[in-house]
Structure 1
Amino acid sequence: MIEAFANHLSSHLGRHLFYWAIESSSATSGNYGLNLRLSELINKFHGPLERGVQVLDHLLTLEEDDFAGHWGSAYAHNYEPEYAAPVPENEELPPPEHMETLNNGNGLLHSPPHNHQQQQQQQPRGGGGASPAGGGGASAGADHNIQITQPISAPSSPLASPGALNSSSSSSGGGGGSGGGLSGSPTAFCLPSSSAAAAVAAISATPTSGSGSYVCSAGTNWHFAAVAVSNAIDTADPNWQASKATVLERNAAMFNNELMSDVKFIVGGEFDIDPIQTIPAHKYILATGSSVFYAMFYGGLAENKQEIKVPDVEPTAFLTLLRYLYCDEIKLEPEHILATLYAAKKYIVPHLARACVNYLEVKLTAKNACLLLSQSRLFEEPELMQRCWEVIDAQAEMAVKSEDFVDIDLKTFESILSRETLNCKEIHLFEAALNWALNACEKMSIDDTPQNKRRLLGQALHLIRIPTMSLEEFANGVAQTGILSSQETIDMFLHFTAKMKPSLGFPTRSRAGLKTQVCHRFQSCAYRSNQWRYRGRCDSIQFSVDRRIFIVGFGLYGSSTGAANYNVKIELKRLGRTLAENDTKFFSDGSSNTFHVFFENPIQIEPECYYTASVILDGNELSFFGQEGMSEVLMGNVTFQFQCSSESTNGTGVQGGQIPELIFYGPTTVTAMSSPTNSVCATPIGGGTAAGGASLTTAPGTVVSNGSSGSANNSNGSGEDLAGDGST
């Protein structure tokens, strides 16, 4: 009867294998070796199964009477006589003591262990390495298909990571029993299911007791579900490695994945910004990307901890760090960029930190410059600090009026107020200081009285140059707040009105501010019978720069027939969008001097982007105009490039016309990141070096056109600061 069952089962399975081979002919056609292998598999499967059943039949005949009474009717009912087959006469049944030989020889009668821990008993401790201290090396008995034979741990399992099956297992290398060996393999569940969703449902419904035992049921389609804390990467396919062509892809599959993880991080909780999150990781990958992680896991003082608390890092930022280490991929989110920079600095991952700084530099504006300055001081990023100072100096009023200004620390607050180059009125700085003090009172949960504000401001109040305000600004502003004492208020009024001025505890010298620089795009101006006419039309020119600057205004030509008044509208656009405009008036004395018209606030100009400068004048029709225009001008350490604009309807272009000057605040220093020479003087655009490789540098104000250079001709006699260094 048992033989009949064996023949039926083997023939049934053999038929299925044969049918599969036929149906898969498209995959096996022309491959004689594969077809031969399939045939051998069918034959080899039938033979061992038949011999194994014969062994069982021989054993059961020892108690034939008990067997017939207890089991015989059942088998007689289920299996008909035609399935029975006699034992071949020339084949001798093996004795019971030889069953182990058959078992080991064919591997088909080997019963699976009742739990994963039984499977570990035959393996040496210490991670299955070649030696106990190997910490995860490959042992001779290690299964090469470990991902198939050892499925993945469920999140509800108490055994959180590899090596947890045996708490006494440790490794002198810091691996602590983790690695490729069986003794360090993860808790697992073998799941028969038809989809990933069903696999997850099966895990949640399966008891996790019994040291991570296998949970198997009948079925031929087996799936292995990887369940991570917050990752849905599909490693359910037993042969998932075959679908990953590169090491990077295989490492990426392990990102935020429980599979083979040997450490977990409990991240967040200190600032209550994000909920605490448990993130699985792999020590080897972390150690290869960070010296801090290497010292933590494999250094001389390494501790074999399965869980590591990281309360001072946001979970999102920590995942961004791990994504870079696993996937070589950087995904920065604006709301978490500072937290990511902190994580990169903490674990010494300089490339990620550099990417964060570059991102911040691109996104830097007057609205966030003060807060980023505070953070860059904390992170010790001098280049980012320098960029922040450039923005704050040029757009100080906008910066101190931003919402983020009140959140900066006291030292940053004092450094801003003591800045000599701020382009801002003192009354605006005083108002910003009051807002900062008000916010500080709210944070400390104290009343926002003038006395408390004064106490919180401390010496920072004396950095505001109140004596340089106008009398009206002081009387209607500062004197009304009650921040100053009665004596200080009296002394200040005397300073404004009396000849004998009292000594004050505040600086009396105005701030120097930034020095404006002027880019001249014409080498001369003209006055002929066919003089330039305005007639209310638009004069426009496009320009770009190679370094970030701040446009302050334009220089314009005036009347060529005597004194005249002009109404003027200036605009600055980018891709058709107006960035700034100003309607004002200016007086022309009839000379060739240019007249400067300014915007209300400086406008930040990004490098390698074209902007459109436009002007419409209404007044005396006849005026001077520029000629011998240049398409490229080197001013200080900034290179300007010009091209004609389609918006120009009055004849202005690169070679001649209006808008002879662009007034701007330039970079205060030249850094190694932005200049190849680290020299304050830039290399000529036309190239060329002196003998011996020394760079040929030009004086500030040098102009370049079509690869040639020449000195700027200030033919208008305006006496402007051509060099941008304060000289005239």
Structure 2
Amino acid sequence: MSAGIQDKPAAQAVGNTCDWQIRRQKVSERGKFLLETAQWSDCQFVVGTEPHQQLFSVHKLFLAMSSPVFEAMFFGGMPEKDEPIPILDVQPEAFKALLEYIYTDEINLQSFDQACELCYVAKKYMIPHVVEECTKYLWGDLFPKNACRAYEFARLFEEPVLMDKCLRIICSETEAVLREGSFEDIEVSTLETILDQEELSINSELELFEAVQRWAAAECSRRGVDIKSMRSVLGSAIGKIRLLTLTPAEFAEGPALSPLLTKDESFAILMNISSKTATKVTLPESFSTCSVPRKRPAGEDKHIIQLPGEAREGQKYYCLRNISPQPHGYNTSNLDCSVSFTVDRNICVLGVQVPTQICPPPPPFRYDGPQLHESYTEVIYAHLLDSDGSRLTYTHVTSRVSYASLVEITFDRPVYIQRNKIYRVGVVLNKMGRYPMGTGDRRIVCGSVLFNFCVGPDIDSVREGIIKSIVFTY
């Protein structure tokens, strides 16, 4: 056994503490103690592969209560033997997280990778609540950098809702997806799925060709074959690129020079691009005959989509809400405020504006009037969610601000939102102090955009007025 494996006798010795139950009021606390100390454990699992194997001492009854697979394993017709049970296809950390849920009802997800691994082991042992929690976490942590991997994960485990959401991100933010280094690691079936899409957020098919070429080179490296084999590792994917949508110059300066194409293929394609009547030059069967460029996702105007490092065009608008004053509220820990909204045309949301504290909080926190000459350090978390509760963008701000003023918060990533769909913008204020409360206007026209606030199942709250303004462009 490798280093770091749990020593069962030593662990049990730690657990033999007098009256340990008395100091633990909750079942989850007692379960945690049993898991950590292996007190009364009657089964062991060897999880993972060398050199990262770990041994877990557990209790059959606990596991059988949570999983029909464990129940069959321990109390079915063919119960396991007393020797440690090997589990080679699961990561030790994921198995540990599953045990923590079984013993304490707690699921502590910290990363995308962890959620994927835990979801796998939860599926394996038929614990649907854990699968659901992992899927929800993945919904809220989808970005161009992991959309392809999440899509492959969702397809493998037959999660159609997650698959659809991943594909929507891939189609709406294709340029960012293609630029990610992780794109070169996707499966060929995922590559083909992307190339099958009628709507992609790209300026030219040349972007797809270059990305496919990078992927093919990486695949050759993974297989340990010569770079000249790029064409063979692509299979039918090369035929899904719409090369006929390129200009003669784009094709001649790019794909025509690529090792993916033979000279005869490049000549035939170039002739078909250059002349619509070039009937004597037959296009190779494996290549797309489509000369219609792909559409951008419905409602998308590329001039308002900001990519990393690029300048944003267009005017910035502030949908400023009139707030009906209510008694000021004093925040003693974290003040969580949000409001749902819809718009009647597609826009790009850049951020929000929220009010700062109305005054310094002198004991006993009475209101002495605004003191504009003073400032303090504000700590704010802001996010934008879709109708499923999935996080579209967020930011965390720590800034020196003036009392009785507005602070503008810019999201880490601007998001293009669609008309007549419900979204929710929220902030969490982390500083103790007195904030202005109230309810805001329900309908506002800003520029040529109609905003409707507090829509759907939203509940009126004086805290929704903390969202003073939505910053956007279109």
- TM-score interval (norm. to shorter): 0.5 to 0.7
- Pair 1:498 & 2:275 matched: yes
> In the TM superposition, what whole-angstrom CA distance separates every residue of 1:38-84 from its partner, at most 9, and x where no partner exists?
xxxxxxxxxxxxxxxxxxxxxxxxxxxxxxxxxxxxxxxxxxxxxxx
SS at match of 2:130: helix
Q: 1:285 to 1:515 in 2, by over 3 A?
A: same
Q: 1:299 to 1:438 in 2, by over 3 A?
A: same
> In the TM superposition, what whole-angstrom CA distance separates every residue of 1:295-346 from its partner, at most 9, and x where no partner exists?
1111122233331101111100000000000110001231422111111111
Deviation at 1:658, TM superposition (A): 5.0
The question of whether the paired residues in 2 share the 8 Å contact of 1:226 and 1:259 is answered with yes
Q: 1:611 to 1:411 in 2, by over 3 A?
A: closer
Q: Which one has a bigger Cα radius of gyration?
A: 1
> In the TM superposition, what whole-angstrom CA distance separates every residue of 1:430-459 from its partner, at most 9, and x where no partner exists?
11111111111111122222xx11010010
Aligned partner of 1:437: which letter?
A
**2:232 aligned residue:** 455
- Pair 1:427 & 2:427 matched: no
**1:243 aligned residue:** 23
Q: 1:548 to 1:428 in 2, by over 3 A?
A: farther
**2:175 aligned residue:** 397
Q: Which runs of 5+ in 2 are unaligned?
A: 302-314, 322-337, 355-382, 395-416, 427-440, 459-473
**1:471 aligned residue:** 248
Aligned partner of 1:487: which letter?
D
**2:333 aligned residue:** none
Structure 2 CA distance for aligned equivalents of residues 308 and 461 of structure 1: 46
Q: 1:639 to 1:358 in 2, by over 3 A?
A: closer
* Matched residue count: 348
Structure 2 CA distance for aligned equivalents of residues 378 and 610 of structure 1: 24
Q: 1:463 to 1:256 in 2, by over 3 A?
A: farther
The question of whether the paired residues in 2 share the 8 Å contact of 1:366 and 1:395 is answered with yes
Higher relative contact order (Cα pairs below 8 Å, separated by 6+ residues): 2
SS at match of 1:254: helix
Judging by fraction of residues, say which structure has more strand.
Answer: 2
**1:516 aligned residue:** 299
Aligned partner of 1:281: which letter?
V
Q: 1:575 to 1:411 in 2, by over 3 A?
A: farther
Structure 1 CA distance for aligned equivalents of residues 30 and 76 of structure 2: 26
Structure 1 CA distance for aligned equivalents of residues 129 and 342 of structure 2: 23
**2:378 aligned residue:** none
Q: Which runs of 5+ in 1 are unaligned?
A: 1-153, 161-186, 188-202, 204-224, 228-233, 519-536, 555-570, 577-603, 613-632, 643-652, 664-683, 688-719, 721-728
The question of whether the paired residues in 1 share the 8 Å contact of 2:443 and 2:450 is answered with no
**1:328 aligned residue:** 105
Deviation at 1:659, TM superposition (A): 2.7
Deviation at 1:494, TM superposition (A): 0.8
- Pair 1:660 & 2:448 matched: yes
Q: Alignment partner for residue 297 of structure 1, among 42, 65, 74?
A: 74
Q: Alignment partner for residue 312 of structure 1, among 78, 89, 103?
A: 89
- Scaled by the length of structure 1, the TM-score of the pair is 0.43
**1:438 aligned residue:** 217
Describe how 1:185-584 pairs up with structure 2 within 5 A: 226=12, 235-269=15-49, 275-334=52-111, 335-424=113-202, 425-449=204-228, 452-501=229-278, 502-504=281-283, 505-508=287-290, 509-516=292-299, 539-541=317-319, 546=340, 553=347, 572-574=350-352
Name the Cα RMSD after superposition. Answer: 3.8
Task: Point out the more displaced range, 296-305 or 353-362.
Answer: 296-305
SS at match of 2:44: strand
- Scaled by the length of structure 2, the TM-score of the pair is 0.65
Structure 1 CA distance for aligned equivalents of residues 32 and 78 of structure 2: 29
**2:362 aligned residue:** none
Structure 1 CA distance for aligned equivalents of residues 342 and 456 of structure 2: 18
Aligned partner of 2:91: which letter?
E
SS at match of 1:343: helix
Aligned partner of 2:77: which letter?
G
The question of whether the paired residues in 2 share the 8 Å contact of 1:634 and 1:640 is answered with no
Deviation at 1:419, TM superposition (A): 1.4
**Percent of paired sites with the same residue:** 30
Deviation at 1:428, TM superposition (A): 1.2
